[in-house]
Amino acid sequence: MLAFFKAYRYFAIVLLIVSAIIISIFYNILKPQRVLPIYQPSMVTSELVDSTIQFKRKYHSIADFRLTNQNGETITQDAYKDKIYVADFFFTTCPTICIAMTDHMLQIQNEIINDEEVMLLSHSVTPEIDSVAQLKKYALEKGVIDRKWNLVTGDKKDIYELARKSYLAVLDDGDGGKFDMIHTENFMLIDKKRQIRGFYDGTNPEDIKLLLEDIKTLKAEYKK
């Protein structure tokens, strides 16, 4: 009996390896692929959403916009047509969370530098301070690459409505001031249909890792 097992042990080893490979292949074929959610206003904390759309449950997307970037160029949705992009809200003189947020946007920029499908978009919540010249100065200091990342300013009402009615990302200051905002650490992942596919803490390195993985997941959707 011992001689029998010795004679066939190499065959048994090969059979086990082949079986493991076959099982692995079937597992990868049959396992469900992860799909990112499509966020609607009703899925987001009410503090971040304008009351007029708070209970909307479907068909939400980012509205058309017309803003000005660090080079004085007009930026509209056309600049992001057929693109995946990461959006946030910041201001150049922010001494607190914006420092980490900008550092993490730079990290994402480095990761997507050669990826033509992915871009970045940062909106100033203090457009009265963040002129084109101020945004350009900030962009040069931080290492912003123009073809990948737009820092935009514009009419405060327009930015407020984008923040609260489109990106569902920014707090109202609550003091009754018209179109005043308290920006948050939120990064938003936007798909090619202008839909929100993820929210992330822009100050948290672990969330940035997740965001980069979710970009890959989202890109895979378009390859099916």
Going by the annotation, the residues of the binding site are 94, 98, 183
Residues flagged as binding site for Cu cation? 94, 98, 183
How does DSSP assign the chain, residue by residue?
Answer: -HHHHHHHHHHHHHHHHHHHHHHHHHHHHHSPPP------GGGS-GGGS-GGGTT--S---PPP-EEE-TTS-EEEGGGGTT-EEEEEEE-TT--SHHHHHHHHHHHHHHHTTT-TTEEEEEEES-TTT--HHHHHHHHHHHT--TTTEEEEB--HHHHHHIIIIIS---EE-SSS-TT-EE--SEEEEE-TTS-EEEEEETT-HHHHHHHHHHHHHHHHHTT-
User: Among 126, 123, 71, 67, which residue's Cα sits nearest to residue 94?
Assistant: 126
**Amino acid identity for residue 28 in this structure:** N
In angstroms, the CA 19 to CA 13 distance is 10
